Amino acid sequence: MLKGPEEAEHLRHIIEKDIIRIEKERDIEMAGRDRRVMVVEADNMANFLTPTSDVGIFYYMTKPCNSNLTGYIHHYHKGIIL
């Protein structure tokens, strides 16, 4: 159980998340009514390349992750890779 400042910070974080979620839903709704408005939701996904054979810990320590930024255009039902 959180107490004191930690609890206040946690509650502030939850409230901010809820406000952002409401704004996102409002934007998506607006894009559905007005085709001049476009909402693109982005997601940065990290991909760790997994080898097909047995490798030592050195491989995992030196292998960088690559990432791709994908986007979804609401009401156009299209995904894009940025």
- Using alpha carbons, select from 20, 22, 40 the residue that is nearest to residue 31: 40
In tens, the pLDDT along 39-65 reads 998 887 766 666 667 777 776 666 666
Q: What mean pLDDT is reported for the chain?
A: 83
pLDDT for 1 equals 63
User: What is the total count of domains within the chain?
Assistant: 1
Strands (E), the chain: 40-47, 66-73, 78-81
Report the predicted TM-score, pTM, of the whole model to 2 decimal places. 0.60
Separation of alpha carbons 60 and 49, rounded Å: 9
CB atoms within 10 A of CB 28: 14
pLDDT at 23 over 70: yes
Question: Which domain does 64 fall in, by range?
Answer: 4-81
